[in-house]
Amino acid sequence: MMNIILMCGGDGSEHDISLKSADFLEAKLGEIQNVRVVRVVLHRRKWVLADGTPCIPVGIKTLVTPTESIHMDYVIPCIHGFPGETGDIQSFLEILGVPYMGCGSEASRLCFNKVSTKLWLSAVGIPNTPYVFLSDNSQASQASALQAMRNWGSVFVKAASQGSSVGCYKVDDLAKLPDAINDAFKYSRQVLVEKNVHPRELEVAVYQYGDEVIATNPGEIKTDKSTFYSWEEKYDGSSKAETVVEAELSDEQKEQIRSLALKAFDQLKLRDLSRIDFFISADGEILLNEINTFPGMTPISMFPKMLEHHGDSMTEFLKQCIAREAPAKQHR
């Protein structure tokens, strides 16, 4: 019997969404034979099992509760945002020598910061949205952002190190830009001001399946023209956003987007899975928007929907990830 530690929570801004993703993954893992799923909820000052029992990692690959010691054969760090997508939990697991699912610590850290992501994308020739980088909330930074908005007309202000559109604001009124920047700096030490290219929003699931790295055809997020794909539009019950598992695009556009997604997966040294998001601007330009190293896994999330629409099994995908990293105790 293999012990799969399903980590979730994290006490960051995406804690609750992480729990919903863990529900979905736990159900899929339950379809795999000879696997015991141990769900661990991470809080800043404590770890607990699903029933609230405290637990703590002790020594090498061992999780200790008041009643038992559990060998950690494999970990699934289902934690959106901090400390899961930031590389922190991956670094910890690497020190312990515990195999885990998903991108490594360096790739996770790189992709979670939108600035470092853009620098890498530009370095390897992958087009991305024009932006101004604000390293601090100074008068000079505010002036730089104001000039960018005068040039572009409409912008997005984004906290550099957040996910699920936390700390992201669409600004069409120059007078509202300073407040948006001030709010974004509450979530991150750096902020991006990006040109609003009035895009269609597309998402591609990229994952390892068998001996192949697969990029699905792009899905599309359709939102009300008065808004964007904000936290509320992603997760609120009153959301008007519509998700389309395969977007209406030309074969040439699909191939170009898939090719760029595979290039990003390779060049940024991703592993197992990612969701790579694109824009198509009003004049047809294809731009990579951002990379999610552990995408949402709720029942309405695009990654599992696109994977299965491609013809692959989410359960088989998880089974392969486990077998690839923890072969010593292969399940059936």
The CATH number given to whatever domain includes residue 233 is 3.30.470.20
Rounded average pLDDT per 10-residue block, the chain, 332 residues? 96 91 97 96 94 92 96 96 93 95 97 94 96 96 97 95 80 96 93 94 97 97 65 53 94 98 98 97 94 93 97 97 74 38
CA distance 229 to 50: 31
CA geometry: angle 269, 272, 278, nearest 5 deg: 70
CA distance 293 to 149: 30
CA distance 203 to 222: 11
Q: Which helix (H) or strand (E) holds 214?
A: strand 212-215
What does the pLDDT read at residue 59? 82
Residues 259 and 202 in one domain: yes
Residues 225 and 297 in one domain: yes
CA torsion, ordered 83, 87, 88, 89, to nearest 10 deg:
80
**Cβ atoms 37, 29 nearer than 8 A:** yes
Residues sharing a CB contact under 8 Å with residue 244, sequence separation 6 or more, in sequence order: 219, 220, 221, 222
Tell me if the pTM is above 0.95: no
Quick count: other Cβ atoms within 10 Å of Cβ 134? 24
Residues 90 and 180 in one domain: no
Residues sharing a CB contact under 8 Å with residue 261, sequence separation 6 or more, in sequence order: 204, 206, 215, 276, 278, 288
Residues 28 and 117 in one domain: no
Owning domain of residue 241: 110-127+198-310
What does the pLDDT read at residue 224? 67
Query: What tens digit of pLDDT does each residue of 5-62 get?
Result: 999 999 888 899 999 999 999 999 999 999 999 999 999 889 999 999 999 998 889 9
Q: What is the CATH number of the domain that holds 185?
A: 3.30.1490.20
Is the sign of the CA dihedral 172, 178, 179, 182 positive or negative? positive
Residues 123 and 139 in one domain: no
Residues sharing a CB contact under 8 Å with residue 270, sequence separation 6 or more, in sequence order: 103, 107, 111, 206, 264, 291, 293
Q: Which amino acid is at 181?
A: I
What does the pLDDT read at residue 21? 97
Considering 195, 215, 246, which residue would you say is the last residue of a domain? 195
CA geometry: angle 316, 320, 323, nearest 5 deg: 135
What does the pLDDT read at residue 209? 97
Residues 79 and 34 in one domain: yes
CA proximity to 145, closest of 102, 136, 221: 136
Is the sign of the CA dihedral 62, 63, 69, 74 positive or negative? negative
Residues 120 and 253 in one domain: yes
DSSP 78: E
Residues 122 and 229 in one domain: yes
Residue 321 sits at φ, ψ, to 5 deg, of -60, -45
Residues 116 and 226 in one domain: yes
Burial class for 162, CB neighbours closer than 10 Å (0-12, 13-18, 19+): buried
Residues 123 and 259 in one domain: yes
Residues 117 and 221 in one domain: yes
The total domain count for the chain is 3
Q: What is the CATH number of the domain that holds 68?
A: 3.40.50.20
**Cβ atoms 210, 272 nearer than 8 A:** no
Residues 306 and 325 in one domain: no
CA distance 212 to 187: 37
